[in-house]
Chains A and B, each alone.
Chain A
Amino acid sequence: MVKCPYCQSEMMEGALFCEECGLSLWGDSQGEVSTRKLEEGSNEFSVKSGWGTATFQQMNQVIIHIRDAPDPLTVRPSDEFLIGRQDSASGIAPDLDLTPYGALERGVSRVHAALRRGDDVLSLVDLDSANGTYLNGQRLAAHQPRLLRDGDEIRLGKLVLHIYFKQ
Chain B
Amino acid sequence: MDFSWNYYAILGVLPTASEDDLRQAYRIAAKRFHPDVNKAPGANLLFQDINTAYEVLSDQRRRSEYDQVRRDRVDSLSHLHIDVRYSRQSLRSLREPQLLYVLAKIQPRLETMTLKTDAPLNLCLVIDRSKSMSGVRMQHLKNAAYRIIDECKPTDIISMVAFSDDAEVIVPAQRLSDPRNAKTMISAIRADGATAILAGLRQGLIQIERFRSSEYVNHLILITDGRTYGDEAECIKMATKARDNGIGISGMGIGEDWNDRFLDSLASQTGGSSVYINSPDTVAHFLHERIRSLATAYAERSRLVATPASDVQLNSITRLTPDAMTLPTDPQPILLGVIDGLAATSLLLQFHVLTDGAERGNFFVGRLDLSGEVLGTNQHLERATQDLSVEIGDHESEENPPPELLDALSKLMLYRLQDRARDAIENGDIGQATRSLEFLATRLFEAGQDDLGQAALSEAERVTNTRVLSKEGVKRLKYGTRALLPISGEQDG
**Beyond A21-B435, A22-B416, A22-B443: 11 further Cβ-contacts under 8 Å?**
A13-B97, A14-B87, A14-B88, A14-B98, A14-B99, A17-B409, A19-B413, A24-B410, A132-B457, A134-B442, A158-B454
Contact B406 A26 (CB under 8 A): yes
B440 contacts the other chain (CB 8 A): yes
Q: How far is the CB of A142 from chain B (nearest CB, A)?
A: 13
Tell me what chain A mostly uses at the interface: helix, strand, loop, or mixed. loop
Q: How many A-B residue pairs have CB under 8 A?
A: 77
Contact of B96 among A13, A16, A22, A160 (CB under 8 A): A13
Within 8 A of B (CB), among A1-58: 1, 7, 11-17, 19-24, 26-27, 29
Task: Assess whether B445 is in contact with A22, with CB atoms less than 8 Å apart.
Answer: no
**Residue A118, interface by CB 8 Å:** no
Query: Which residues on A sit within 8 Å (CB–CB) of B435?
Result: 21, 137-138
Interface residues of B in 1-38 (CB under 8 A from A): none
State in angstroms the CA–CA spacing of A67 and B401 once bound together.
25
Min C-beta distance of B282 to chain A, whole Å: 27
> Do B88 and A22 touch across chains, with their CB atoms under 8 A apart?
no
Task: Check B94 against A22 for contact (C-beta < 8 Å).
Answer: no
- What residue in chain B is nearest A139 (Cβ atoms)? B438
**A-binding residues in B (CB < 8 A):** 87-88, 91, 94, 96-101, 352-353, 400-401, 406, 409-410, 413-414, 416-417, 435, 438-440, 442-443, 445-446, 450, 453-454, 457, 460
Q: Is the CB of B87 within 8 A of A16?
A: yes
**Residue A155, interface by CB 8 Å:** yes
Bound together, the chains give a CA A72 to CA B84 distance in angstroms of 41
- Counting from the closest, the 3 A-B pairs by CB-CB distance are A14-B99, A22-B413, A21-B439
Distance from B448 Cβ to chain A, minimum over Cβ atoms (Å): 10
Cα distance A1–B435 in the bound complex, in angstroms: 22
A29, B352: Cα distance in complex, Å: 25
User: Chain B contact residues: over half helix, strand or loop, or mixed?
Assistant: helix
Q: Are B99 and A27 in contact (CB under 8 A)?
A: no
Which A residues lie at the B interface, using CB under 8 A? 1, 7, 11-17, 19-24, 26-27, 29, 67, 131-132, 134, 137-139, 155, 158, 160
| Distance of A35 Cα from B453 Cα, bound (Å) | 27
CA distance A33 to B448 in the complex (A): 18
Q: How far is the CB of B308 from chain A (nearest CB, A)?
A: 15
- Once the chains bind, are B445 and A158 in contact (CB under 8 Å)? yes
CB distance from A125 to the nearest CB of B (A): 18
**A24, B414: Cα distance in complex, Å:** 11
A131 to B445, CA, bound (A): 14
Whether the Cβ atoms of B97 and A12 lie closer than 8 Å is yes
Bound complex: CA of A91 vs CA of B401, how far in Å? 52
CA distance A141 to B414 in the complex (A): 25
B415's nearest neighbour on chain A, judged by CB, is: A22
Interface centre among A13, A14, A24, A67 (most CB of B within 10 A): A14
Query: What are 15 A-to-B residue pairs whose CB atoms are below 8 Å?
Result: A1-B96, A7-B439, A14-B91, A16-B406, A16-B409, A20-B439, A21-B435, A21-B442, A22-B442, A29-B446, A131-B457, A132-B457, A134-B438, A137-B438, A158-B450
